[in-house]
Structure formats: C-alpha cells, structure tokens
Amino acid sequence: MKTLLCLTVLSASLAVCHGACFRTNNEVQIKEGELVLPQGCLDPVDKSEHPVGATWNSRHCLRCTCEGTTMSCCTRYGGIVETPEGCEATIDEERCEYKFHKKNDRFAPCTPF
C-alpha cells in the first residue's frame, strides 16, 4: 500500500513539474511459443529508435524514457502560468519554454503574472 501511495505522489509531482505526460505500450510478441519483449522504443515525433533504458530529448520539447514494455514522454516546458490580458503564449521549441507576446504583435513581449 505504501508503494502505491508513493507512486501516486510521484506521478502527481511529475505532472505538475512537466505540464503533461503520456505513456504508450510497446508491442510484445509471441514467436514460436515464446514471449518476445521489445528491443527498444520509437520516438513519437521523428520515429528514431532508442534502446530499452534510454532517456532522450525529442523534438517538440519532449523528454522520453524507453522502459521496455512502455515508453513515457513528458513536455519539458512546464505548466503555463496565467497569461496577461491582450497577450498569448507560444512555445519556443529551441529553448523549450513559453514566450509571451501581444496578440496582435508577436514581437512585442508581455510579462506573465
């Protein structure tokens, strides 16, 4: 029961820190009556292959981990803060952070609350 509680708290912490996470199942096959586990994971963006146990930074600001039968990815830019009125937020994919600018002028910066 303690383990379940710890995993729940850890999952909630990751969701708060990273903004959004997802997990996908890798295909497990049965060949000649034997269970064959995946040898790696495919990056969800560029479809590059990564070995089991690898952690990498993907394009579009994802940090992914190949865990064998599953792959988990979380955004690296965190949760969004309140956007000032008349402004909007876009993701700077070079730096993996939000940039705030005026709605009618993307070169005029805004300061979030």
Tell me, rounded to whole angstroms, the distance of Cα 53 from its chain centroid.
Answer: 16
Report the C-alpha gap between 74 and 17 in whole angstroms.
9
Q: How high is the pLDDT of residue 103?
A: 92
Domain edges within the chain: 19-75, 77-113
pLDDT of the chain along its 113 residues, tens only?
555 443 444 444 444 444 789 999 988 888 899 888 888 999 988 999 999 999 999 888 899 999 988 999 998 877 656 788 899 988 888 888 888 899 999 899 987 76
Q: How high is the pLDDT of residue 52?
A: 93
Q: How high is the pLDDT of residue 39?
A: 87
Report the C-alpha gap between 9 and 40 in whole angstroms.
28
Q: How high is the pLDDT of residue 81?
A: 66
This prediction has a pTM of: 0.61
Which architecture characterizes domain 19-75 according to CATH?
Ribbon (2.10)
Supply the DSSP string of the chain, one letter for each residue.
-HHHHHHHHHHHHHHHHHS-EEEEEPPPEEETTEEE--SEEE-TTT--EEETT-EEEETTTEEEEE-SSEEEEEESS----PPPTTEEEEEETTTTEEEEEETTEEEEE----
What fold is seen in the domain 77-113? N-terminal domain of TfIIb (2.20.25)
Q: How high is the pLDDT of residue 26?
A: 87
